[in-house]
Every structure is written in structure tokens, then in C-alpha cells.
Amino acid sequence: MYQKLIERLTRIENRHSTLGEDNIIKDIEAGIIVIGHNRNNEAVVTTQKSVLEMFGFQVPKQLTRGRTFTNMDDESQKSYQAATDQFEKDFGFILQK
């Protein structure tokens, strides 16, 4: 899904930069939410925010979030299972097990 999104945004950007057409997504507000086990999710949020801004989106801070569901100092299987349980509780749906 993400690849398709980037392909479509690239096509829009190319029509703007190459053909001189209006940037139809300029100044539209967009955001990104990154969730998972990765302790680098804030870096991922920052990178993805930059990608959206490059295409012309306005990316307000309140529309970007990163959430790590693991204890950063404990990467044991038990910690990962607890993170899955917490995710399911917070978001109200069961992850595939």
C-alpha cells in the first residue's frame, strides 16, 4: 500500500515539476502514525514527515505520532508479547497470532 501511495504522489509531483501543472496537493494537511516494536519510530516519523513535505503537504505536529510498544531496555520474547497485548488493548483489535 505504501509503495502505491508513493508512486501516485511521485506522478503528481512529476506533473507539477516537469509539465508545469499546478501541485494539486500543495498545502493539504497530512500526517503519519508509526506504531510498532521499533525503538527508532521517532526517526521514521521524522523521515516520513519530510517525504510528505517534499510532495507539498503541510504536516502539522499534531498529525504526526510515533509509538513504541516495547520496553526499550528489554527485547525479550516476554516484552514483545506484552507489547502485543498492550497494542490490542489500546487499539481494540486482535493482531494476527
Domain spans of the chain, in order of start: 24-88
Say which DSSP state 71 is in. Answer: -
E-strand stretches of the chain = 32-36, 64-68
CB 32 within 8 A of CB 45: yes
pTM exceeding the 0.85 threshold for the entire prediction: no
CA atoms within 13 Å, Cβ hemisphere of 81: 4
pLDDT at 38: 66
Nearest to 56 by CA among 17, 85, 84: 17
Mean pLDDT of 53-63: 92
* Res. 51 pLDDT band, cuts 50 70 90: very high
Q: Say yes or no to pLDDT of 97 above 70.
A: no
Higher pLDDT, 56 or 33: 56
**Phi, psi at 29, each rounded to 5°:** -80, 135
